[in-house]
């Protein structure tokens, strides 16, 4: 049983709750449905043609920028997830296909503008702590070199290391691979993202996964300040 702890240090940044989805019996190689592929194409077209200034001015993206600036990080060097994803799509000319699970939550990020962390559930220890780091640390992001973590950076971590840094980079050590059986999706949000909005995003991820993985089981949790929460799954 996994335990989740939301440290009080995050409330100063406007993060009062974290929304979590746990998907059991997933298949990274499942064939995406025609309905989803149509949605993916639509989101890709939107990313290629949207007004970036308008995206940056949306309350959700502003909320992420406010947190980054609040901890003294440059938004230019560390842009929120969705603007960075749009930039990547424009550079490539398309939304990259990585595997079924990642494709599904990337499309949802483009739809909702939310930063969504995705990790292999079985690579994580018994506890995830959401907190301002409060210590110097190191972090190895996916497809990047090791980064220095400042005491003031916000992260979530288990007893082995950091899973995600500044809500913009996920760790290489907990990433999905060809053998992933269970997945965890984490939406920390910001002062401008309601619990309902984040749960709706998880519902769409659940629906898209279920469409191509009928045996998948899904559980959604809301973690709040000063209360420990456990998943009912082992």
Name the helix (H) or strand (E) containing 54.
helix 52-56
Domain ranges of the chain: 3-230
CB contact at 8 A, 19 and 189? yes
Cα separations in angstroms, 13 against 2, 74, 86, 116: 25, 16, 25, 18
DSSP character string of 75-136:
TTTS--HHHHHHHHHHHHTSPPP--HHHHHHHHHHHHH----EEEEGGGS-SEEEEEE--S-
DSSP 122-186: GGS-SEEEEEE--S-EEE-BTTS--EEE-TT-EEEE-SS-EEEETTTEEBGGG---TT--EEEEE
Ranges of residues in the chain with a pLDDT under 70 are 226-234
> Does CATH number 3.50.40.10 belong to domain 3-230?
yes
Q: In 3D, which of 72, 79, 67, 69 has the Cα closest to residue 11?
A: 67
Residues 40-49: tens digit of each pLDDT: 999 999 999 9
Distance CA 26, CA 209 (A): 8
| pLDDT score, position 145 | 87
> Phi, psi (5° rounding) for residue 39?
-65, -40
State the pLDDT at residue 143. Answer: 83
Half-sphere exposure at residue 141, Cβ-oriented, CA atoms within 13 angstroms? 16
């Amino acid at each position: 049983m996994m335990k989740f702890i939301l440290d009080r240090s995050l409330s100063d940044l406007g993060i009062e709750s974290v929304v979590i989805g746990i998907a059991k019996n997933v298949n990274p190689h499942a064939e995406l449905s025609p309905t989803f592929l149509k949605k993916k194409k639509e989101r890709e077209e939107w990313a290629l043609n949207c007004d970036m200034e308008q995206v940056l001015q949306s309350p959700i993206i502003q909320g992420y920028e406010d947190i980054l600036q609040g901890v003294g990080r440059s938004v230019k060097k560390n842009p929120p997830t969705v603007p960075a994803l749009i930039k990547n799509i424009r550079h490539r000319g398309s939304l990259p296909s990585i595997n079924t699970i990642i494709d599904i939550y990337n499309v949802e990020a483009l739809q909702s503008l939310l930063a969504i962390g995705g990790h292999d559930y079985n690579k994580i220890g018994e506890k995830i702590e959401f907190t301002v780091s409060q210590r110097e640390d190191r972090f190895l992001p996916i497809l990047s070199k090791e980064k220095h973590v400042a005491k003031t950076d916000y992260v979530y971590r288990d007893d082995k290391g950091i899973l995600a840094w500044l809500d913009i980079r996920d760790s290489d050590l907990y990433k999905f691979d060809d053998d992933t059986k269970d997945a965890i999706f984490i939406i920390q949000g910001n002062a401008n993202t309601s619990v309902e909005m984040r749960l709706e995003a998880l519902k769409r991820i659940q629906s898209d996964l279920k469409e191509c993985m009928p045996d998948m089981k899904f559980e959604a949790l809301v973690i709040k300040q000063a209360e420990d929460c456990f998943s009912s799954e082992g």
